[in-house]
Amino acid sequence: MNFVTDFWHELTYLTLEMAPYLLLGFLFAGILYAWFPENKIYKYLGKNNTRSVINAALIGIPLPLCSCGVIPTGISFHKNGASKGSAVSFLISTPQTGIDSIMVTWSLLGWPLAVIRPVIAFFTGIFGGILTNKTDKTIHKEPVIKPASVDQPGKKTGLREMLKYAFVDFFQDIVKWLVIGLLIATLMAVFIPDDFFSRYMNNDFISMLVVLVASVPLYVCATGSVPIAAVLIMKGLSPGAAIVFLMAGPATNAATISVIGNTMGRKTLLTYMFSIITGALFFGILINELIPRDFFLNTMSHAHHGEHQHNILPYWLQLSSAIILTGLLINGLIRKYVIPFVKDKNIKNEDMPEITIKVNGMTCSHCKMTVEKNLGQIQGVTSVEADISKGTVNLSGEAINLAVVENTIKDLGYVYHGKVK
């Protein structure tokens, strides 16, 4: 019974602390989506120089894209003429941060780490981009395909579209991992002894290596990684090791590694991984050596043994935000898992011939929108419905050219496996 009480107490506190900042972050995400002039940035990314790499990192840092959603965007940049260095800089810097994750970091980890995270993402992105340009001089002169993400943002400037993306479409991208992150953080807070890391892993460098090995194959979004890092620090993990987790967790996972290797080459993949691993260890060591641990602990809002610091935000705002966030989480889970299941039970449209193809690599609503938009532009296609849970795409229309469909899927960075049945 004590476990249930402790679990509920920790989960409630984490949710109350995160909710106001998370909702504000999602609102900023919607604003970026609606008004960020993404269709004008390609001309700044096409050269194998440092300026293009810096531009790509600056563009990527505030964008609210997880490590799965960033892949089609980054690949599209490359397919449309951006240098590999610019694409790698974007792929490294973007998933580590985002408006939403920065706000949650401020809430749970304090302002120092909220400031340090985007700075680290910026410099690791630049490092990876420059290194890629030094090892690969290839420049794509002619665009292969215009991605869906180029002409959607900037046109949908209405308040309704902005809010829908922020609290419905984008929310679905991270709802699963946000829930998992909260549950993992709560379980660790309950089960891990308070002196675990100081007793069993008191070597900071070894703890960073252990965290790095565990983080590279793991998928966790930038926002979902924050509560886990907060609990780990409170259990004695060094801030440097927490930085390693906050960098490597969101920026790498098995799917990302596979797609980058298949679409941009093994050399680019090795450069990408080397940049993240080297950057994570370098900044982890730097933080441990230069900044006292107590400095971070004193700024964190989640205090030890439930003795929480006085909150700047009023309780009524935290509670109302937590209720709204809970409702959005439930809605996101229903839309992501229940509605697609129910749709399978509906009668399909028999007016047009329908083709179902297998596509691997679609993992978020951003992927779904990208695939549907681009396939919908193919001659003969009248409707497109992508199902990210099954990895399938339903195409309706007359005389659909599957060769064009296959090339379009590959150009977007996904894997085409042909017709189903």
What is the mean pLDDT of each successive set of 10 residues along the chain, which is 421 residues long? 85 84 78 63 73 90 72 69 85 85 84 90 94 74 43 56 82 77 81 70 84 79 82 85 89 74 83 93 92 78 43 81 92 82 56 80 76 86 85 86 88 83 65
Q: Which pLDDT value is given to residue 312?
A: 59
pLDDT at 98: 81
Q: What is the DSSP string of 67-133?
A: TTTHHHHHHHHHHTT--HHHHHHHHHHHHH--HHHHHHHHHHH-HHHHHHHHHHHHHHHHHHHHHHH
The DSSP secondary-structure symbol of 219 reads: -
Identify the pLDDT of residue 148: 41
| pLDDT, position 16 | 86
Q: What 3 state SS string does 365-406 have? A: HHHHHHHHHHHHCCCCEEEEEEECCCCEEEEEECCCCHHHHH
Q: Return the closest-CA partner of residue 258 out of 363, 383, 113.
A: 363
- What strands, in cross-sheet order, belong to the sheet with 381-387? 381-387, 392-397, 354-360, 415-419
The CA distance from 250 to 205, in Å, is 21
Residues in the chain, overall count: 421
Give me the pLDDT at residue 159, please.
83
Distance CA 16, CA 20 (A): 8
20, two tokens: 């106001």
**Contacts for 240 with CB less than 8 Å, ≥ 6 apart:** 204, 208, 283, 284, 285, 286, 287, 288
